[in-house]
Each structure stands twice: as C-alpha cells, then as structure tokens.
Amino acid sequence: MSYSIFYRAMHVKTSKGILPMVECGDNNVYDWSGRRSRNWYNFHASEKSIYSNWEDLNNAIEKWNAKVQDKQEEYRNSETDWKRESCNGSFGYFEGVAVYGKTTFNTTFNDFRNLIRSGMKYMITIEEVIDKGILYIDNGWQKGTTKVESEQQLFDALDEGKWVLFMGQVETIYFIKSTISKMLRNGGKRCVISLKKDNVKKWVGVKDNDMVIVDNEEDAYKFKWVKTDIHSLLWRKFEDIDGTEVRCA
C-alpha cells in the first residue's frame, strides 16, 4: 500500500506568519540512487497556507486529528467486521502517513505533530530563503518552477493555490539550523567559539536563537558541545571568515 513518509520540517518566517515546510515522499517511489524520493513542500494543515504562530498551526493539526477520531468512531460502530477490528488504528494508519523511522501502524498523532513542531526550532526567515535562492514556486505539471525573488511574489503564488518547494543548498541550511539548535540546549560540556574575520579575532554570540559574530569575549555564548564538525558548521554559517577555534571547559 502506498503512503507518505514525512522526514523533516523547517518552516519559513514571513511578515504574515509561518509558512510550514516539510520534507516528504512516497514510500514506493525511488530515485536513481535507490533512495526513496523526497522533496520539500509547503504543508497544508487546513485551508490556509500561512499560520500566525505555532498555536494557530497546532489548532489546524488538531482539527485534522479530530477527523481521524471521528473516523475511528465510525469504524467502532460499523457493522463490518474488519472496520470494527481496526477502529483503534493509529493516526498514521487512518491518514496513510508515517514519520521517518516508523510505519503507518505505529505513527501516532503526537509523532506527527512533533515532527511538524520541530520546524519551529529550525525556522528560516523569508529574507534568508530569498538571499540563498532556495524557495521556488511549482507552476504545475511540465511547467517548471520559478524562484521566489520577493515576499509578495510568494504571497501571490499561495493566493493562487500554487505549491512552493525548497531546492538548492537546503541540506547545508538544515545542517546549520539543526546543529545550532542542539548547541543552544542546556546541559553538557560548554564551549566558547572564536574566529578570525579580516584577520581580527572575534567571538560567536547568540541573537534570536541564531549564531552571530560579536566583538568581545564577554559577549560570547557558551554553547553546548555536540558530536559534529563544529569548524565545518562555522565555515558554512559565516562563509567569509579566516579561521576558527573552539575552547571547551
């Protein structure tokens, strides 16, 4: 049976609210390398494309779950044996979806909601996606895509009912966003990061849950040490730097 697999989420922050974006694909469609095909598309939890905040998005997802619960109740009271036997099936079973690492049979509503919510931690601004050139409008079958060059262009496309997708260096951006999120968590060994920019020593601080360059060590943030190549992260994040140093206590 064909079903949709949801892998990751990374939402876009616009002036009108949150545009949810998810990486998903069909379970039985593979690319040339033998890996299951997947793409990043905007996520529709209701009739809207943009949500004012997490509560607004969560309410839309809850309404989706309420429909599943209604379906379960219908099966429970059915005269058909197989429906009564499957009335306690999971959210994934009734909706034909699974989060990565699970099947439809054990994907609960909370599993699905938590995946969508993770995109809030890895939020990227509309200015960033335009600057990086990773957001595109899907013009439909055999009509190709159009790069989003302005926020209004995005709004117009969504008003016309078009889908949008991430393309290009999405993996790099997701790696940066997800790693920084882990480094901002509490607990564990703490590290101070310094770097050279134009051969002048600087430090790494935090603003709006993101890494920024600061002039003084007093303003540096003590990041949680994580098992990844932090130096690679810094070069990808800041690009035009001359060197990096990580000092952990």
**pLDDT score for 5:** 94
For residue 43, pLDDT over 80 is answered with yes
- Amino acid in the structure at residue 21: M
The rounded mean pLDDT for the chain is 92
State the Cα–Cα distance between residues 118 and 115, nearest whole angstrom.
5
Q: In the chain, where are the structural domains located?
A: 4-166, 172-248
**pLDDT score for 79:** 87
What is the per-residue pLDDT across 8-35, written as a single tens digit (0 to 9) for each? 999 999 999 999 999 999 988 888 888 8
Residue 19: how many CA atoms within 13 Å on its side-chain side? 23
- pLDDT band for position 85 (50/70/90)? confident
Q: Are 192 and 220 in contact (CB under 8 A)?
A: yes
Cβ atoms within 10 Å of 31's Cβ, excluding its own: 10
Cα 196 to the center of its chain, rounded Å = 31
Burial of 134 (0-12, 13-18, 19+ CB in 10 A): buried
**pLDDT score for 228:** 86
Torsion of CA 186, 189, 194, 195, to 10 degrees: -100
- pLDDT band for position 49 (50/70/90)? very high
Which residues, in sequence order, are CB contacts of 126 under 8 Å at separation 6+?
Answer: 12, 13, 14, 15, 19, 135, 151, 154
